[in-house]
């Protein structure tokens, strides 16, 4: 699995959709419905659940940066969907290289931190973080199922 953004940028974009939002845990169902609707519009039913999980976890990560405003970005490329969250904090996040050792962690800490980006890494076909002016974009790539490649 790669964290190199260059592989994502090389593919031509067929379509990009984005939505300005504000983080609120009570609005996560709306976020998931936006992702579901877009994936269905692109006829990618087989990856809907993965896309919903990834978008939710990427968005939940921004609550730790101090600014609740973000932009959800979904890009349809020739070989994959790229889901990104652009926030307005310069604090870069790191995807864990491995799963945390539960024996070494306080379970209360594990309940709040450390699982989301590990989940994203395990479901995605590529992940990364890219600094942008006044913030960053954290992204994950989902390749199309074989049946969806045209």
Asked if 46 contacts 37 with a C-beta cutoff of 8 angstroms, the reply is no
Look up residue 71 and give its two tokens.
Answer: 């932009």
Q: Which helix (H) or strand (E) holds 141?
A: strand 135-143
Burial 23-34 (b: 16+ CB within 10 A, else e): beeeeeeebbeb
pLDDT exceeds cutoff 70 at 50: yes
Name the range with the highest mean pLDDT among 26-30, 59-63, 64-68: 26-30
Q: What is the pLDDT of residue 102?
A: 47
* Weakest mean pLDDT among 37-41, 53-57, 87-91, 96-100: 96-100
Average pLDDT over residues 39-60: 93
Burial pattern 92-131, b for ≥16 Cβ within 10 A else e, equals: ebebeeeeeeeeeeeeeeeeeeeebbbebbebbbbbbbee
Average pLDDT over residues 103-132: 69
Angle at 143 between CA 149 and CA 126, to 5 degrees: 160
Note the pTM of the prediction, 2 decimals.
Answer: 0.76
Banded model confidence at residue 121, pLDDT cuts 50, 70, 90: confident
Pairing mode of beta strands 135-143, 80-87: antiparallel
């Amino acid at each position: 699995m790669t964290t190199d953004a260059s592989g994502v940028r090389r593919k031509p974009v067929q379509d990009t959709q984005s939505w300005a939002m504000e983080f609120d845990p009570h609005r996560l169902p709306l976020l998931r419905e936006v992702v579901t609707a877009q994936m269905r519009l692109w006829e990618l039913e087989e990856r809907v659940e993965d896309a919903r999980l990834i978008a939710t976890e990427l968005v939940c990560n921004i609550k730790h940066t101090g600014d609740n405003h973000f932009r959800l970005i979904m890009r349809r490329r020739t070989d994959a969907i790229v889901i990104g969250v652009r926030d307005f904090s310069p604090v870069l996040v790191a995807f864990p290289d491995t799963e945390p050792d539960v024996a070494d962690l306080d379970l209360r800490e594990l309940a709040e931190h450390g699982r989301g980006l590990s989940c994203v890494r395990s479901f995605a076909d590529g992940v990364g973080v890219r600094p942008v002016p006044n913030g960053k974009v954290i992204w994950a790539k989902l390749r199309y199922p074989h049946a969806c490649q045209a």
